[in-house]
Structures are given as structure tokens and as C-alpha cells.
Structure 1
Amino acid sequence: MEKKSFNLQDRAGVFSIYLVILFVNAFVDVSHKQIIISTIYKLSGDGPQYLYNESTQIIMTAAISAMILLPFIVLFTLSGYLSDRFAKPNIMRWSAFMAVLVTLGIVYAYYQGEFELAFGLTFILATQSAIYSPAKYGYIKECLGEKGLSIGNAFLMSITLISILLATAASPILFESYLTTHLAQQPEGYFFTSPGEILQVVAPLAWVLVGLSAVEFISTFGLKFYATKYKETKLSVGKWLVGGYLREHVRNMRANQVTWYAILGTAVFWSISQNMLAVLPAHAKANLHIESVALLSLLMAISIVGIIIGSYASSKNSQNGIKVNNVYYGAIILIVCAALIPTFSVPAFLTETSLGFELMGDVISLGLVLTVLTIFVFGIGAGMLVVPLNALIQSSAAPDNLGSVIAGKNWVQNIAMVGLLCITGYVAYNNVNSEYILYFNAVIALVGFTVVLKKLKSIY
């Protein structure tokens, strides 16, 4: 473990390369996901020209989100073991190489119009991220030392979210541009009849993913190996398959109350956030009357701007240590905003009140503006909450067990996210309105954060 006092300038070069790798990895994952979701969005609505209705759109969006999360659950033990057993730069390097191969497969799927294959490759791309995740988080402590955890996590979250923000905005805008150009060349009344047809139109975007994955792979050769204690034990396949390691990791996480409740706090946040991302596209189209994929992406991306601001504020307030009060402030903001989103986006007197101008071809209403502002503030609360929670998890873990703890955090988070997405898929299948799903999200936030905050308050 690093014993010297933390000085970011001493390792700024290596840490900058590390941030480039994080940026590219997130950009590729989100871009492919956005293209798939945008394809579904363009084929959803009321009318004979649409393939999917609101319920089907919610189910398919929830399914792709769940597909991204499942590898983190299935590979929980393996990814944590690899991070504790082997050098983290090597794990990141091989994961980046795998991403190059997967994106080449995405190129084939797009050009051939194989929507099911492109959909399935989302799972493979997520598998690469699942293996890479514990090493990614664990490398911060190796590179910056324990005193640098708060600011290191703030950098990690900020650069990742900037990447997600750019991918969320750029991918749908380019997607919309390709479709607009294609439709301009078609006869009046033409509309797309299959998702594969849309993928073929936007296929050149897949080469961007390949190029970025290559940059990520090359960048991993700039990471430095630091003296770190690694576990010498071997992985027992039999014990892994019957869940023996899983039970051990859960016991270890629960043995440390700070670690366990900090993990539960992140699980509550990520589950309601993923659920919101699954529901908002269909909700926005039905209630806010958004037709443009590009405008929808900006609606979603504004929360990321808020998270970046919240992360910065949290890290600025934590330069001399972890500030647990930031968790309380962030949780309160999240609960209030989760309830306000459906409150502002449904009533007709708000959604039908035009502000007198259009953006990207859609009329801007008072309800839309209020919803956007609420999502932005939601993001600020998220940044204030997650940075100190991640720092608490990392600081309370033993150096030779950090990878397993982080993998355990991922496992709990993803169990919570997939569980809530499954509930959403079920209620959407039974034609429950998106408004009520969003209110249910707020209830989950209230109950979950109340439990976590009450416990953390008793510890600190």
C-alpha cells in the first residue's frame, strides 16, 4: 500500500493516461447502447407506422439495461479475484483488447442489419466492462494512495460522466443526422419497417467505436505498475460454481458496517437511476411529446452535468478527508427530485403550455423545462452522494481485499438494478402507466436512503 503523503502532481502523467482509458471505455459502451435505444425509440409510438407501443418500448429499454448489468452479477467473484490476484494494469489491458474485438463484431452487425446480434453484443461488451471494473476502481488507491481516494474518485466520476454526457449527446445527434439524410432521399410517406434497416443507415458510426477501442487498448501500455500486495490463493472453480465465494464476500461486506451501508446507499441510487433511464424515453414521448432522439438525449444528459457539478462540490468539500454530511444532503435532493419529475412532466396545464419556440423540431413546453431543471438538480444530488460513499467503501477495505469488496459493491448494485428493472418490465407488461413507475421510484429512494442514512448517522 502507498505510504507516502498524497501528491497528485507526482503521478499526474500516469493518472491522466488512466483517465483517458476510463473516458474511452465509457464512451464506447454508452454510444452503442444509445444507438440501440435510439433505434427502438424511432420505431415506438401510437399509429400503424410504429412497431412498438409505450409498454413494449419500456420493456425493451429495461431489457437492454438489464443485459448490461447481468455480467456484473454473474462475474462478481471472478472479476474480484482477478483484481486481487493479478496486476490491475494487465487486467485493464486485456479487457481493452477484448473491447476491440467486440466492436469489430458490432461493425458486422450494423452493416448486415442484424439487430438481434447487435442487441446481444451489448451483453458481451458489458462482460468486458464487468471484468475491468474492480481493477479500474482499485487502481486509484494504488496510484494515489489512501489520502487521494476522495479526489481520485471525484476525478473518476467526473471524467466518466463527461464521457457519458458526450456519448449520450453525440451518438443520438449523429444518429438523427444519418436518418434525416436518408429520409430526405426517400419518397414522401416513407417510414422504417424494421430495426435492422435503421442500423444499416447508421452503420458508419460503428467504425468510430472500433477506433476508440483501439485508442483505449494502446493507452493501457502507459499505465505504471505499483508495488502492491496480491493474493496468492487460487480460484476454486467448484466453489465458485456453487456460490461459496459469493457467500464469503457477502459475509465480509456485512462484517464492516461502514462498507455494507455505503454499498447499500450506492445500490439505492443506481437502481432508481437505471430505472429512470429505462422509463424516461417512453414517458417523455407520451407526455412531453418529444419526437427527436437528439432532444431526448439532451434531456437525459442534463443529469450528467448535474452529477459532475455535485461531484466537484463534494470533492471540494472533502480535501482534508471524507465528509459524510454530503451523503445526507445528496440523498435529500434525490428523494425530492425523484418525486418532482412525474409531477412536472404529466399535468396537461404544464405539458401543453408552449413557451413559444421549438428546439430540434419539437415544441418546448413549460412542463419540459421544469422537468429538465429537476433532472439537473437530481444529478447534483447524485454527485454529492456517490463520491463520499465510494470513498467510504475504499477506505474501509483491506488493501489485499479491495478488489473483492469493489466487485461485491458492483454485485449488490447490479442485483438491485436488475431487480427493479424486472419489476418495471413486469408492470409495464401489465400496461401500468410510466407516471406511476416514476412515483414508485421516489418511494424506493425515500425508504432506501432513510435506512442507509439512519445507520450511517449512528456510526458517525
Structure 2
Amino acid sequence: MAEANGLIQAVTIGAILAGTVAFTALFETWVSPQDQTPAQLLRQIAPLGWLLVLNSALQVVALYRLPLDNTIRSELPLTWQRYIKGTALKDNLRIIAHQPVIRLSIIGLATFWSVGQVLLAAFPAYAKDALSINNTLVPQGILAASGIGIALGSLFASKLSHNRIETGLIPVGAIGVAVGLWCLPLLTTPVSQALNFVFIGIMGGLFIVPLNALIQFHAADNELGTVLAANNWIQNIAMLGFWCSRRCSRWRE
């Protein structure tokens, strides 16, 4: 299970990385913000928007080509009332609350991706002020290095697991991420920052792959979809909370 999670994580991060770099490069190539009105800028980036729409359409086509799994239908009907009243959310959170391993794994994943969200939002401004980098492609490339690191770390976690969930990788990854974050303000060149982000990504891959595997292993077969949905919901709420706290701190300044 850990090996499969590692491969999936590596492929996913690779796709995100490729899309980020490609669209950043296209933005730098097509858009010239000097002496232009907002309307002119919107017209220039419109083709990029249509490329995103085309990419989304291709994703939908690929989604519908996936084979259907002959699973047992849930006894709970999918109705809007359960979501509007919050019943579905309460049921999902109740399942997680009764499983300490799942609960703690979700907290760990939510914390990791929330820190990543803050880095993603804050680093471009930091690179401009502290490193004097004005080309947006450079900080995006540095951030993309973390994606390369996560992909490598996920593959390492897959190889080190050997058909089991290697929980010993979790503290190693957590300590490594902390060390990388501590080193971040000490580095003054784009190359050193990129290498540091690769290191943070590798440690992050070692951290998240076992946690994802633990969630899937400890969730009951008839509750796995519910647990994964709650996991995604909590992660997104945590990332939103970290982002809002950063915006509030900047507003106070």
C-alpha cells in the first residue's frame, strides 16, 4: 500500500509541477505588463485561460474512461438535506474521531500541506524583497524544486517500505522539513534556495506517503470513501485557515 501511495504521489506531483512550470513560462512569454491597462492584460492572458479550460475538458474525458468498480452501494442516500443540515459532515468527523491513527494522520497531512500553502503564497514576495528576484519564473522554478523533491521522496518512501507501512519515515520526514524551513532564511542565492526546497520536498515525501497509507489501511472498506472525503475536507480547511492567518498578519502590518 505504501509503495502504491508513493508512486501515485510522485506522478501527481510531477503533473502539478509540469503544469506550473509550463503555464508560468507561457505567462512570462506572452504577457508584458509594462504600460498596459488591466483590460489589455486580461486580453493577453485569455489564451492561457482557454488552455486551462481545454485541460479541464481532457481531465473529464479521462475520468469517464476509468473502469467502474463493482462496489456495494452505500446504505445512506446521497441527498442535499444531509449536507445542508451538516449531518454528512458530522457523520464523517465522527468516524475519524473514533480512529486515533486516522485522526492523527489527517492532522499531520493537513499541517504539512498548510505549511506548503503558506510557502507557496509567501515565497515569491520574499524572493523579490530578500533575494532581489524580479522574474516570476525564477521563484516559481524554486518552488517547483519542492515538487521534484516530493516526487523523489515519495519514490524513496515507496522503495523503503518493502510491502509494509514504514512508520519510521514519519519522524525523519518531519524533522527534515523543520530543518529545511529553518535554513530557508539563511540562504541567499536562487541555487541554494532551490536545493533547499528539493530537500524539503524529499523530506515531505517521506512524511506524507506513510500517513496516506495509514489512513487507507485503518479505514474500513465500507468507510474508506467517507474517510478520504473527510481527509480532503480537513486539509482544505486547514490550508484556508493558514492562508487567512497570513493575510490577516499582513493586513495588521
Write the mapping of 1:231-380 to structure 2, written as runs, cut at 5 A. Answer: 231-235=74-78, 237-344=80-187, 351=188, 367-380=189-202
Secondary structure at 1:203's aligned position in 2? helix
Aligned to 2:2: 150
- Secondary structure of 2:31's counterpart equals helix
SS at the partner of 1:408? helix
Q: Is the 8 A contact 1:314 1:384 kept in 2?
A: yes
Cα deviation for residue 240 of structure 1 reads: 2.7
> Residue 178 of structure 1 aligns with which residue?
30
Offset at residue 156 of structure 1 (A): 1.8
CA contact (8 A) 1:230 1:400 kept: no
Counterpart position of 2:62: 219
Q: Which residue, 148, 159, 166 being the options, matches 2:11?
A: 159
TM-aligned CA distance change 1:151 to 1:281, over 3 Å: same
Match of 1:192 among 36, 43, 53: 36
1:210 aligned onto 2:32: no
Unaligned runs of 5+ in 1: 1-148, 184-189, 345-350, 352-366, 432-460
Q: How far off its partner does 1:230 sit? A: 2.4
1:330 and 1:382 in contact (8 A); partners too: yes
Count of residues in Structure 1 that have an aligned counterpart in Structure 2: 253
Q: Distance in 1 between matches of 2:74 and 2:50?
A: 39
- Asked if structure 2 preserves the Cα contact closer than 8 Å seen for 1:229 and 1:399, the reply is no
Q: Deviations over 1:4-53 (max 9, x none)?
A: xxxxxxxxxxxxxxxxxxxxxxxxxxxxxxxxxxxxxxxxxxxxxxxxxx
Q: CA deviation at 1:412?
A: 1.6
**In structure 2, distance between residues paired with 1:163 and 1:388:** 21
Matched ranges for 1:65-104 at <5 A: none
CA contact 1:253–1:259 (8 Å) conserved in 2: yes
Aligned counterpart, 1:59: none
Q: Could you tell me how far apart the structure 1 residues matched to 2:82 and 2:46 are? A: 43
The list of structure 1 runs, each at least 4 consecutive aligned residues, that deviate by more than 3 angstroms after superposition, is 235-239
Look up the SS of the partner of 2:46 in the other structure.
coil
CA distance in 1, matches of 2:64, 2:92: 31
The amino acid across from 1:247 in the alignment is: K
> Structure 1 residue 412 and structure 2 residue 234: aligned?
yes
Residue in 2 that maps onto 1:394: 216
In 2, Cα distance between the equivalents of 1:375 and 1:306? 7
Shift of 1:268: 0.9
Q: Which deviations, in whole Å up to 9, do the C-alpha atoms of 1:252-292 show, x marking residues without a partner? A: 10211111111111011011110111111111111111111
Tell me how far 1:153 sits from its aligned partner. 1.6
2:249 aligned with 1:424: no
- Matching residue's letter, 1:413: Q
- How far is 1:198 from its partner? 1.7
Structure 2 distance, partners of 1:224, 1:421, is 37
Structure ID, larger Rg: 1
Deviation at 1:428, TM superposition (A): 0.6
SS at match of 2:141: helix
Contact 2:3/2:157 (<8 A) preserved: no
Tell me the CA shift for residue 226 of structure 1. 2.5
TM-score normalised to the size of structure 2?
0.93
Distance in 1 between the 2:106 and 2:142 partners? 28
Q: Tell me the CA shift for residue 236 of structure 1.
A: 5.0
Using the size of structure 1 for normalisation, the TM-score is 0.53
Q: Deviations over 1:65-119 (max 9, x none)?
A: xxxxxxxxxxxxxxxxxxxxxxxxxxxxxxxxxxxxxxxxxxxxxxxxxxxxxxx
Partner amino acid, structure 1, of 2:11: I
Native 8 Å contact 2:110 2:235 kept in 1: yes
Which sections of structure 2, spanning at least 5 residues, go unmatched? none
Residue in 2 that maps onto 1:385? 207
- Alignment partners' CA distance in 2, 1:412 and 1:209: 27
- 1:201 paired residue number: 44
User: What secondary structure is seen at the aligned counterpart in 1 of 2:161?
Assistant: coil
Q: Does structure 2 conserve the Cα–Cα contact (< 8 Å) formed by 1:253 and 1:260?
A: yes
